[in-house]
Amino acid sequence: MLLWAKQLNLLFPSSTRFHGIQRCYMIPAIESAWDENVQEVRSEFQNRDIILMGDGRNDSPGHSAQYCSYTFMEYDTKKIISLLTIDKRQTERKSVNMEKRGFIQALNEIKDSGLSVKEVVTDAHLGISSVMKKQYPDVKHSYDIWHVAKNLGKKIVKASQKKQNMVLMKWSRDIINHFWFSCQKAESYSEFVGIWRSVLHHITNKHEWIIPHGGLYQCLHDPLGEDESRSKPWLHPEKDSHVLKELANIVLDKRLLKNVEHFLNFRSTAELEGFHQHILMYCAKRFAYTPPVYRARNLLAALDHNKNASRGEMKNKDGSTRYHRTYNKKSGRWSVYACKEPKSFDYIQEVLVKALMNRLNDTKGMYRKVTLDPTDVRLISKTIAPVEPPSTQQLVQEKKSRYN
C-alpha cells in the first residue's frame, strides 16, 4: 500500500505509525469483535448435542512451520466456534506437535464453555486419534472420508505404476467411488467389509459369489448389459492374479479395516478445508507476522466466514439456481458449483468503531513503551531459533566473504 501511495504522490502513514495503530487499536478491536461473535454463535448451540469438524492449518510446510491455526467448525451450520493459533515455541520448537496441542486446547475450551460435543470429525491424525481414545472416550470420533479416499487413491496409483499392474489405473476412480459408496451405505463393520470387498469380485466381471459359511453375496448395482465400447477391461482371475493380489492387499489392508468404525457416519470436512483456503486472503503464507498479527488476521477471516455462512444461492431470472463451471487440471474434468449471493461486510464498520473508541479512550498514545501480554509466546523466546542470536556487530566481524 505504501508503494502504491508513492506512485500517486499520496500522503500515507509511515511504517512505524501503521504498526502503532495496528498494535494499539486495531488488534484489540478485532479480538473484541471475535469474542462477541463467537459467544453469539455458541449461544445457538446451548442445551443440544453438536458435531464438530476440526483441522489444523500451518503457515508453511508442516516440518518447518512457525504457526498452526486449529479450527473447530459446527457440522450443520458450518459456523466456526473456536480458532486457536499455536506457536512453534509452545511445543519445544517441534512443528509436528502443534496440531495436536491446538486440538486439545480448542476442544477443552469448547467443553469448558458448556457445549455438549457428541462427535468430532478430523483427518486420520495418529496423535489426535490417541487423544480421543484416551481422554474423550465418550465422544464419537469420525474420520473425514475425503482424506481416507485420497490416501487410498495414492496407494492404487503407486501400485499401478508397476508395468504388470497398469490396468489398475483405469479402475482407480471406480474403486475410490466404490469406497465412498461403501462408507455411505454401511451401518456396521460387517456390512462395510461385505460391500467394500465386493470390488475384488466385480472387477473380474463376477457379480454373485458364495462365501464359505456365509451364504450367497452379490453386487448392489443393477444388472449390467453388454457394452461393446467399454473402456475398462475386465480382469481374469488366473491371467491377472498378480494384479488382483496387489489390489487385495490394498482393499483388505489391516490398518484400513481397523478404522472402519471411524467411517460409518460418513462425514466430510470439505467446508473447513475451504475456510483454510480463505485464510490466505487475509494471511498469505509468503509473509512473516508477529504472533498477535498472525492471530488477528486469522480472526478476521473467521469473522468474514461466520458473518456470511448463511448466504443463499444466486438465482437466474427464471428462478433457477445459477451455476459456475470450472476445469480441474489434475482430474482433467469440468465441474460446476452453485454461485452464492454477494458477501456483506457490515462487520467491518463495527470493528472500525471499536478501533476508533480504543483511540479516543487512550490516554497514553500509540508511541508508549511496548509491553508484551503475559500469554505472548515471545516471552518464551525472542526468536524461533534454537540458540540466542549474537550481537549484530559480532556477526559483522565474524562474517567472511569468498570474494575478499
pLDDT in tens, 232-241: 888 888 888 8
- Is 226 a residue whose pLDDT tops 90? no
Alpha helices in 223-382 (DSSP H): 241-251, 254-258, 270-278, 291-307, 347-360
Which residues have a Cβ under 8 Å from the Cβ of 68 and sit 6 or more positions away? 56, 57, 58, 59, 85, 86, 95, 98, 99, 102
pLDDT for residue 303 is more than 80:
yes
Mean pLDDT, the chain, integer = 91
Percent of the chain residues past pLDDT 70, beyond the cut: 97
Contact between residue 143 and residue 121 where contact means Cβ atoms under 8 Å apart: yes
- Dihedral sign for Cα atoms in the order 348, 79, 342, 293: positive
Confidence of residue 206 (pLDDT cuts 50, 70, 90): confident
Pairwise CA distance, residues 11 & 1, whole Å: 11
| CA distance linking residue 306 with residue 327, whole number of Å | 28
Instruction: State residue 283's pLDDT score.
Output: 93
Taken in order 233, 237, 239, 244, the sign of the CA dihedral is positive
Domains in the chain with CATH codes = 42-143+267-310+343-353 (3.30.420.10), 146-223+232-261 (no CATH)
What is the model's pLDDT at position 214?
Answer: 62
The pLDDT assigned to 375 comes to: 87
For residue 235, give Cα distances in angstroms to 197, 205, 222: 16, 8, 20
Query: How many Cα atoms sit within 13 Å of 215 on the Cβ side?
Result: 3
Is the pLDDT at 255 greater than 70, yes or no? yes
Question: Which long-range contacts link 188-192 to residues 24+ away (Cβ below 8 Å)?
Answer: 188/264, 189/260, 189/261, 189/264, 192/260, 192/263, 192/264
Nearest residue to 298 (alpha-carbon basis) of 34, 53, 95, 104: 34
pLDDT top residue among 287 and 332:
287
What is the rounded average pLDDT of the residues 119-135? 95
Higher-scoring residue by pLDDT: 224, 264: 264
Give the whole-angstrom CA distance, residue 235 versus residue 237: 6
Residue 227: pLDDT band with limits 50, 70, 90: low
Q: Indicate the pLDDT class of residue 228, thresholds 50, 70 and 90.
A: low
CA–CA distance, 378 with 89 (Å, rounded to integer): 8
- Grid coordinates of 77: 451450520
Q: Closest by alpha carbon to 111, among 89, 90, 132?
A: 132
